[in-house]
Amino acid sequence: MSRIEKALTIVRNKGVSGAAKMLRRRYTAAPKVQSRRAAALVRKSMDRAVLDAQREHKFKNNPLISILMPVYNTDIDMLCCVIESVMAQTYPVWELCICDASDGAHASVGDKCREYEAADSGCRIKYRRLAENKGIAANTNECADMASGEYLALLDHDDILHPSALYKVVAEIEKSGADFLYTDELTFSGRIGNVLLTNLKPDYSPDTLRGNNYICHFTVFSAELFEYAGKFRSEYDGSQDHDIFLRMTKKAKKVSHIPEILYFWRAHKGSVVEDVAVKGYAVDAGIRAVRDNLAEWGQNADVAQSDVYPTIYRVRYTLPEEPLVSVIISDEACESPQQCANSLKITEYGNYEIILVNGGGAAINECVRQRAKGSFILLLDGSAEATEPDWMRELLQYAVRDDAGAVGTGLFNLDGTVNSYFMITGVGSDKTAVPAGRALNAGDNGYLGRMGFTQNVNALNSACLMVSRAKYLEAGGLDEKLSVTYNRIDLCLRLRELGYNNIYTPFAAFRLICAEDDKEKRKDREETEYFLAEWRGSLRDPYYNVNFRRDGTYLL
C-alpha cells in the first residue's frame, strides 16, 4: 500500500483523530529542555478525545476554507507531510488549492500532488501545473484563482498544519465574525518536538506589524477582503505576506488572534527562518512594503533595517509641523525634579516649555487645564533624565497621529539594567501590572527582540508619557485618587477604551538618576483595591499572550 493510500485509509477508517495520532507519532519527538512546555502544549492539543469532540461538533454555518499552497521544487517527504496535515483536519469543509511551478527536474512534485488529488474521494484537493514560475506572489494569486471558498488560508509547502487549525478558525469566525484571523506558531527542525522557538503573538497591533511581520503563520482571511485589498503584489516577493497583511488588516472589519500553536514552521537549509541571509531580498522587500503602505495611507516615513534583526524595522515619521510641547515634571516620585529639568538641555527639538509641579494627579490636571500652553503634554518622572538628543521628536512623531493615545519609552537604572520598558497589565502577584523587562540588561531586547522595536502596548510606565492635550482632557486626565503607581496606567487604559493606540518606542529611553520615593512607589493596599475595582475584568493585556507566565516574564 502506498503512503498516500495508508494516510487516506486512516482518515476514512479511523477519522481525523486517527490521522492526528499518526501525525503525533511521526512528527513529535522528545522536546528540548527549554522547549518542554511548548511541546507539552502541542501534545495536549493533540489529545484524541479533544480531536474526536471537534470532529463531532456542529457549527451553525460551515464556511468553505480554501487553503492556498504554491509549490516549487518541494522535497517529496515535506510535501507529503504538509498535504497529510491538511487531510487530518478535524474540520472537514476545506479545499487545498495547489499551484506547481517546479522545474523539469522536479516532475515528481506534480506526480505526487496528482496522486493525492486522485485519491481524495471528496475532491477537495485541486492541482494545477503552472506554465512558468512567476514568483511566490503571482503563484499564490494563481492558487486564489482556483479557490471557491468564503475564506482563504495560506500554507507553505514545507510546513505542517495542526489538526485543529481549521476548527479553531471556524469557531472564532462563528464567535466574532472576524474576516482576518491568525494563530500562534512553532518553529522546528527535523521533527516537531525539536523546537527551535515559539512565536506567541500579541493581539492585533498595527505599530508592531509595521516593525515586524509578527503575524506570519497561520493566517486566514475572507475572500472578499483579499479581493478588496488587491491580492498579492510581485514587487514585494520575499515579503509578500507582510505587504498584504498590512493592507488587509487596515481594511478588515475584525482582526482576531487565536492564541494557540496551530502551525508548525519548518526550519531547513535555504529557508528564511534558518538563515535570513539566504533571502536578503526579503529584507529589502519588507522595508518597501512598510514604507509604501504608510504612504498609501498618507503617512510620510523613512523605514530602515534595525539593529535588532534584519527583518525588524525602524520607522521614522516626518513631522508636518513642530507643535509646542508642555513638559510637566512633578515631584510625585522625586523631591528634587530640577535635575530632570536640567537634563533636557540636550534636547534637539526646540519648541517646548518646562513646568515644575508640586504634587500628584490633582496638581498635574490643574496644570494641564490652566498653565500648559502646548498642544501636547509630556509627563516626566522627576527621578529620570534624558540621555539622547532626539528623544522628544521620537515621541512626538507618534503622538501627532490621529490614532495615537499615549506614547512612552523605557527607563534604565544607572547600573545598566532595565527598570521598565512599559507596563504589562493584569499580571503579577496582585494582578494589577508589572514592568516589562525588569532586571534585563541594557541591550537585551527580550523575547523575539520585541523590546527593541516600536510596538503597541496596553500601558506605559510613569517615567515618560506623551499625549495630545485634547486626548488627555477627553480621557479625563489623571485619576486624582491614584498616585503615580497607578495613575499613568489608568490614563493609558482609558485612552485605549476611547479607541486610541498606546505606543512604546525604545528610541527615546530615559535613565533613573535618583532613588524613587519608596513611600510614593509602594503599592498601597487600599489604592490597589480601588484600582482593581475600577478595572475589574478589563485588565487582560491584549499584547501579552495568555500562554506566557503570569509574572510578566515573557516565558512559557
Under DSSP, is residue 446 helix (H, G, I), strand (E, B) or coil? coil
Report yes or no: 67 and 144 within 8 Å, Cβ to Cβ: no
Angle at 394 between CA 389 and CA 397, to 5 degrees: 140
CA distance 308 to 409: 17
Q: What is the DSSP letter of 430?
A: T
Tens digits of residue pLDDT in 52-109: 999 999 999 999 999 999 999 999 999 999 999 999 999 999 999 999 999 999 999 9
| Look-up of cell digits 503571482 | 138
| Look-up of cell digits 539622547 | 388
Q: What is the pLDDT of residue 6?
A: 53
Name residues whose C-beta falls within 8 Å of residue 419's C-beta, 6 or more positions apart in sequence: 410, 411, 412, 413, 435, 438, 461, 463, 512
Q: How confident is the model at residue 336 (pLDDT cuts 50, 70, 90)?
A: confident
Q: What is the pLDDT of residue 454?
A: 97
Beta bridge mates, 127:
98
Q: Where are the alpha helices (DSSP H) in 204-350?
A: 206-211, 223-229, 240-251, 281-296, 338-343
* Rounded percentage of the chain residues whose pLDDT exceeds 70: 90
CA 347 to chain centre: 32
Report yes or no: 472 and 367 within 8 Å, Cβ to Cβ: no
Report yes or no: 541 and 426 within 8 Å, Cβ to Cβ: yes
- Given 3-state DSSP classes, what are the helix, strand and coil percentages for the chain, each rounded to the nearest 5? 40, 20, 40
Amino acid at position 396, single letter: L
Provide mean pLDDT across the span 354-364.
Answer: 94
Amino acid at position 290, single letter: V
Pairing, β 433-435 against β 464-468? unpaired
Q: What is the pLDDT of residue 519?
A: 42
Provide mean pLDDT across the span 175-196.
Answer: 92
Which grid coordinates are listed for 205? 497591533
Report yes or no: 478 and 490 within 8 Å, Cβ to Cβ: yes
Report yes or no: 17 and 46 within 8 Å, Cβ to Cβ: no
Q: What is the pLDDT of residue 34?
A: 43
Report yes or no: 425 and 539 within 8 Å, Cβ to Cβ: yes
Under DSSP, is residue 536 helix (H, G, I), strand (E, B) or coil? coil
Which grid coordinates are listed for 549? 507566565
Backbone angles phi, psi at 100, to 5 degrees: -110, 115
CA distance 347 to 359: 25
Provide mean pLDDT across the span 39-49.
Answer: 86
What pTM, to 2 d.p., does this model score? 0.91
Pairing, β 325-330 against β 352-357? parallel
**Burial group, residue 219, by CB count within 10 angstroms (0-12, 13-18, 19+):** buried
Residue whose C-alpha is closest to residue 131's, from 110, 152, 147: 110
Under DSSP, is residue 484 helix (H, G, I), strand (E, B) or coil? coil
Q: Which of 90-99, 192-201, 300-309, 499-508 is predicted least confidently? A: 192-201
Mean confidence (pLDDT) of the chain: 90
Q: How confident is the model at residue 274 (pLDDT cuts 50, 70, 90)?
A: very low
Provide mean pLDDT across the span 485-495.
Answer: 96
Roughly how many angstroms between the first and final C-alpha of the chain, as a whole number?
Answer: 42
3-state secondary structure 314-376: EEEECCCCCCCEEEEEECCCCCCCHHHHHHHHHCCCCCEEEEEECCCHHHHHHHHHHCCCCCE
Q: Which of 51-65, 211-225, 322-336 is predicted least confidently? A: 322-336
Provide mean pLDDT across the span 12-21.
Answer: 48
Angle at 227 between CA 225 and CA 228, to 5 degrees: 60
| Look-up of cell digits 509547502 | 157
Under DSSP, is residue 495 helix (H, G, I), strand (E, B) or coil? helix
Tens digits of residue pLDDT in 386-411: 999 999 999 999 999 999 999 999 99
Beta bridge mates, 68:
97, 154
Bond into 218 cis (ω within 30): yes
Longest C-alpha distance within the chain, in Å? 83
Backbone angles phi, psi at 186, to 5 degrees: -135, 135
Report yes or no: 8 and 87 within 8 Å, Cβ to Cβ: yes
Rg of the Cα trace of the chain? 26
CA distance 177 to 151: 12
Written as one string, the DSSP assignment of 103-134 is -GGGHHHHHHHHHHHHH-TT--EEEEE-SS--
Q: What is the pLDDT of residue 21?
A: 47
Buried b (16+ CB within 10 A) or exposed e, 451-479: bbbbbbbbbbbbbbbbbbbebbeebebbb
Q: How confident is the model at residue 45 (pLDDT cuts 50, 70, 90)?
A: confident
239 pLDDT more than 80: yes
CA distance 130 to 118: 19
Angle at 93 between CA 91 and CA 95, to 5 degrees: 115
Which grid coordinates are listed for 276? 535570513
2 pLDDT more than 80: no
Q: How confident is the model at residue 300 (pLDDT cuts 50, 70, 90)?
A: very high
Buried b (16+ CB within 10 A) or exposed e, 172-186: bbeeeebbbbbbbbb
